Amino acid sequence: MAFQADPNRYATMSYSPCGQSGITLPRISLGLWHNFGTEDNPATAEAILLKAFDKGVTCFDLANNYGPPPGSAESTLGRVLHDQLGAWRDELIITTKAGHRMWEGPYGDGSSRKNLTASLDQSLKRLRLEYVDIFYSHRYDGVTPLEETLQTLVDVVKAGKALYVGLSKYPPEMAEKAYAYLAERDTPCLIQQDRYSLLSRGVEKGVLETAHRNGVGFTAFSPLAQGLLTNRYLEGVPADSRAARNQFLKVEQLTPALLSALRQLNDIARQRGESLAQMALSWVLHDKRVTSVIIGASSVNQLLDNLGALNAAPFDQSTLEQLDAIVDTTTKNA
């Protein structure tokens, strides 16, 4: 049956200005790193995407290599756009990235002009789009001259293949130089993307502040620490979980110390009348420098649970200190 968008889809989501730009992003965006490849259930993938759109999640975050197999998450979204969501393209922010290994040989990896340009062309074909809204350099590779990567970002915007550009996983000193280079060429960096959760606090050491000072938005990936900051692992490792696949999240990470911390966090969430996932997301969002969190979900129920974070109670100072004390004793530097 043809998809009919919910007329109330903008009733509950809130949107934040992305740095000093004219764009707002939903406080909760949906990422397609896991669960949207051709090896995943296509009906579930489609149901999550359509429900997200119906709940005001206007931003879908992708990269060339998301799957499995690599590239297939873009193909899944391309199919859903073509079959269901095409009429609403102008209500969507669709992102992609290039910079991690995608194809064989010397040009299928890294942040060179060759890799980024070819990769974006491939992504647009899979997505069945003429342009993406945001094209990211997926990582600072430490080899390619910064200017080569950045000039490529400027050029893809000038070629009409992306509306905005962003940076992912750039150290603050490189990001600062990049912001200046891009601004001087009339292609200001829209957004910085990096890992941020209660358990992963590295961006507090400069990335968040540098983006904020330069008028660049910030979006947090893996805000649930790949599922650790949910009820998923409190009673063991479910067979269908990410940890059970033991690739990006390893069973060995579930140490007794971490599980004890997760249970203490879960107790606080319950006292607040929230799920652990909701408290973890609202914790990331309580920093006003954060524009959006990019969640993953393997079911519609997980998505809906996470969207409940929008109604979470504000944090008082003593709860913030309590949360810090719990994670301090375990994994604050992860």
Q: Quick one: which of 223, 279, 282, 290 contacts ligand NDP (CB under 6 A)?
A: 223
Query: Is residue 230 part of the contact set for ligand NDP (CB under 6 A)?
Result: yes
Q: Quick one: which of 27, 34, 55, 126 contacts ligand NDP (CB under 6 A)?
A: 34
Q: Between 87 and 116, how does the x/- string for binding to ligand NDP read (CB under 6 A)?
A: ------------------------------
- The answer to whether the CB of 56 falls within 8 A of the CB of 24 is no
Q: Which stretch binds ligand NDP (CB under 6 A): 47-55, 103-111, 198-206, 223-231?
A: 223-231
Q: Quick one: which of 227, 282, 326, 327 contacts ligand NDP (CB under 6 A)?
A: 227
Which of residues 27 and 242 has its CB atom nearest to ligand NDP in the complex? 242
Q: Which stretch binds ligand NDP (CB under 6 A): 18-26, 109-117, 175-183, 224-232?
A: 224-232
The dihedral built from the CA positions of residue 303, 306, 307 and 308, taken in this order, carries a sign that is positive
Whether the ω angle into residue 68 lies within 30 degrees of 0, i.e. cis, is: yes
Q: Quick one: which of 175, 211, 277, 323 contacts ligand NDP (CB under 6 A)?
A: 277
Q: Quick one: which of 75, 266, 292, 306 contacts ligand NDP (CB under 6 A)?
A: 306
For residue 189, the minimal CB distance to ligand NDP (Å) is: 14
Q: Quick one: which of 31, 37, 56, 110 contacts ligand NDP (CB under 6 A)?
A: 31
> What distance in Å separates the CA atoms of residue 289 and residue 276, rounded to the nearest whole number?
22
- The answer to whether the CB of 2 falls within 8 A of the CB of 15 is no
Which of residues 112 and 278 has its CB atom nearest to ligand NDP in the complex? 278
> What distance in Å separates the CA atoms of residue 136 and residue 140, rounded to the nearest whole number?
11
Query: Is residue 274 part of the contact set for ligand NDP (CB under 6 A)?
Result: no
Compute CA distances 34 → 2, 96, 251, whole Å.
26, 14, 17
Which of residues 248 and 321 has its CB atom nearest to ligand NDP in the complex? 248
> What distance in Å separates the CA atoms of residue 52 and residue 57, rounded to the nearest whole number?
5
- Pairing between β-strand 217-221 and β-strand 292-295 as defined by DSSP bridges: parallel
- Residues 171-200 binding ligand NDP (CB under 6 A) are 193
Q: What is the dihedral of CA 227, 232, 236, 238, to 10 degrees?
A: -90
Query: Is residue 242 part of the contact set for ligand NDP (CB under 6 A)?
Result: yes
Paired strand residues for 191? 166, 217
Q: By CB neighbour count within 10 A (0-12 exposed, 13-18 middle, 19+ buried), where does 146 fall?
A: middle
Compute CA distances 239 → 68, 108, 243, whole Å.
18, 33, 9
Query: Is residue 76 part of the contact set for ligand NDP (CB under 6 A)?
Result: no
Which of residues 273 and 321 has its CB atom nearest to ligand NDP in the complex? 273
Q: Note the residues at the interface with ligand NDP (CB under 6 A).
A: 31-35, 61, 138, 168-169, 193, 221-227, 230-232, 241-242, 277, 294-298, 302, 305-306
